[in-house]
Chains A and B, each alone.
Chain A
Amino acid sequence: AQSVTQPDIHITVSEGASLELRCNYSYGATPYLFWYVQSPGQGLQLLLKYFSGDTLVQGIKGFEAEFKRSQSSFNLRKPSVHWSDAAEYFCAVGGPSGGYNKLIFGAGTRLAVHP
């Protein structure tokens, strides 16, 4: 069965520090992978996605993610975190299911940024 694990529920970093959020997935075929961000009281905004090709993908707001098939991982990174990056981050895996694209989400990682 498809599943997504985000091992870290909460992460706190200092402003300017680097960031890596972990995501592991379980999916039988080639996965379609997504990272979304949710600010308090808001909906989900797409940061980046991976379908095929170059395993390092660039997204908005300076984020990038690397797909590693051997590790079933799709970790999100940012070299220098800004206070405005404080939010909840969701990894998702998608694929065809019953005639539509079904997204399975992880439980999320809440990021706090210290000044």
Chain B
Amino acid sequence: ETGVTQTPRHLVMGMTNKKSLKCEQHLGHNAMYWYKQSAKKPLELMFVYSLEERVENNSVPSRFSPECPNSSHLFLHLHTLQPEDSALYLCASSQDRGPADTQYFGPGTRLTVL
């Protein structure tokens, strides 16, 4: 595997379910990000991790809970979601946190909340 991978690619869940999204980067990067992409809206940054430390929580509701156990893996734990949380969730990584550090994106997880 190369680049940034995400699993699952598609997920359907009820509002009372608990599920997790997984992201893995094979680039040796130190920073990882979660973005939300909803229809007709620009990409929204959710969380930023650098060397496993959360450096940004962009006012995301607590029903989204990130976890970064090491610099290669990032999870997004989901519980009691709402239908408006249906979206494409994208993971990205960059070498470090600087402005010259390009972010590389995974293919995303298409989440549908019923």
Contacts and interface: CB of A to CB of B under 8 A. Distances in A.
With most chain B CB atoms within 10 A of its CB, the pick from A4, A41, A49, A106 is: A41
Interface in A60-115: 90, 94-96, 98-108
Contacts, number: 63
Interface residues of A, number: 27
Contacts of B72: none
A75 B56 CA distance: 30
A100 B106 contact: no
Contacts of A28: none
Interface residues of B, number: 28
Contact of A101 (B43, B94, B110): B94
SS class of chain A's interface: helix, strand, loop or mixed? strand
Given A90-B43, A100-B50, A103-B43, 16 more contacts: A4-B42, A41-B107, A41-B108, A41-B110, A43-B6, A43-B90, A43-B105, A45-B105, A96-B98, A96-B99, A98-B56, A99-B50, A100-B48, A101-B100, A103-B45, A105-B42
21 contacts: A4-B42, A32-B100, A34-B102, A41-B110, A42-B107, A43-B106, A43-B107, A44-B90, A46-B102, A51-B100, A90-B43, A95-B99, A96-B98, A100-B55, A101-B97, A101-B100, A104-B42, A105-B42, A106-B42, A107-B40, A108-B42
Interface of A: 4, 32, 34, 36, 41-46, 49, 51, 90, 94-96, 98-108
Interface of B: 4, 6, 31, 40-43, 45, 48, 50, 55-56, 90, 92, 94, 97-108, 110
